[in-house]
Amino acid sequence: MPNTDTLTLKLNPTVVSGARLTVATDDYGYSIPFVVQDSTATAFDITDYTVTLKVWAPSDPTTYIIDETCTQDTPASGTCHYTTADGDFDTAGTYLGKLLLTKTGESLSTEQFVLVVQTSAASYCTLAEVKDALDITGTSLDDLLSDLIQAATGDIDGYCHRSFALTSATKYYDGCKDRLIVDDLVSVTTLKLDEDGDGMYEETLETTDYLLYPYNETPYWMILLSEQSDYASFAEGVLKGVEIIGTWGYASVPEPVRQAAVIQTCRLYRLSQAGFGTEVGTPEIGTSTVYQGLSSDAKRLLGNYVRVRYA
């Protein structure tokens, strides 16, 4: 799930906004917030209007991949949001979007914004947070910084041996007795067993057949067979004997992870301005360029989130 900045859009249909939003394919359930302003950058009262989000491919401006009504938050201040739905971002690519405001006898359109749908666009901090940390204004570096945020996210995932992004997926595990170790798990849609090893998952467990552990927090990392279960094991002895359709990762990015992402992105930016290296040394021994991965400050923040991997 991306960290989405508020998109401020003016009522001026002849302008393409510098606003840019990056999202992930197949990711949904989060809100994209908007602020509508008039041409003088004053909040526009949307109380009497129906606000519709329209998104289309530049090559086909008459076919909308999203054409849905937004929810008004504080209409007098021009604020509203759209909650993303399953199927909105099925195909990676670059799209354009705008808000259409309609009421009886009147139709208004905002400036356009750019929507980038990436196959893997999970990010642990926002562009605005990074620009604030670097004291950068304007939009000329937005593409570079967005790429560096993705790189920092990858660095964090590699260091922690886990992803903090919220994703829906089907995963498979080898069968076991009564304690199934799994990846970071937020919720289970279905849990099925292939007890005879024929590649067909005929047995679907009820929620009373298992317990998610730890009991009082997410993500879960183990599934226990309950005492009330009709099953003796999780397809013990069967390779790839367990199929789980569920939501994985973290329900929200932990604050230390967000801070680490900002720090690492800033580090990558500064290194990009210095040839991706840091010169160290003394006049006596000379200098050398040292290349480093994740910064020590980021590692300190992530210490409690490194997942231990077992062979």
Angle CA(60)–CA(62)–CA(67) in degrees, nearest 5? 110
- What sign for the dihedral angle of Cα 91, 219, 253, 270? negative
| Residue 212: predicted pLDDT | 97
**DSSP 8-state class, residue 199:** S
Does pLDDT of 64 surpass 50? yes
Does pLDDT of 82 surpass 50? yes
| Residue 198: predicted pLDDT | 94
The mean pLDDT of 142-170, rounded to a whole number, is 88
The rounded percent of the chain whose pLDDT value lies above 90 is 56
pLDDT tens digit string along 92-127?
677 889 999 999 999 999 998 888 776 555 688 888
Q: State the pLDDT confidence band at 291, using cuts at 50, 70 and 90.
A: very low
| Residue 3: predicted pLDDT | 47
Written as one letter, the residue type at 139 is: T
| Residue 121: predicted pLDDT | 54
| Residue 263: predicted pLDDT | 96
Q: State the pLDDT confidence band at 293, using cuts at 50, 70 and 90.
A: confident
**What gap in Å lies between CA 175 and CA 159, rounded to an integer?**
28
Q: State the pLDDT confidence band at 283, using cuts at 50, 70 and 90.
A: low
Candidates 291, 268, 267; CA nearest to 279 is 291
| Residue 246: predicted pLDDT | 87
| Residue 288: predicted pLDDT | 46
Q: Which fold has domain 7-121?
A: Immunoglobulin-like (2.60.40)
**Angle between helix 127-134 and helix 255-272 axes, rounded to 10 deg:** 60
The mean pLDDT of 303-308, rounded to a whole number, is 92
| Residue 107: predicted pLDDT | 94
| Residue 273: predicted pLDDT | 82
**What gap in Å lies between CA 100 and CA 50, rounded to an integer?**
8
**How do beta strands 242-248 and 179-193 pair?**
antiparallel
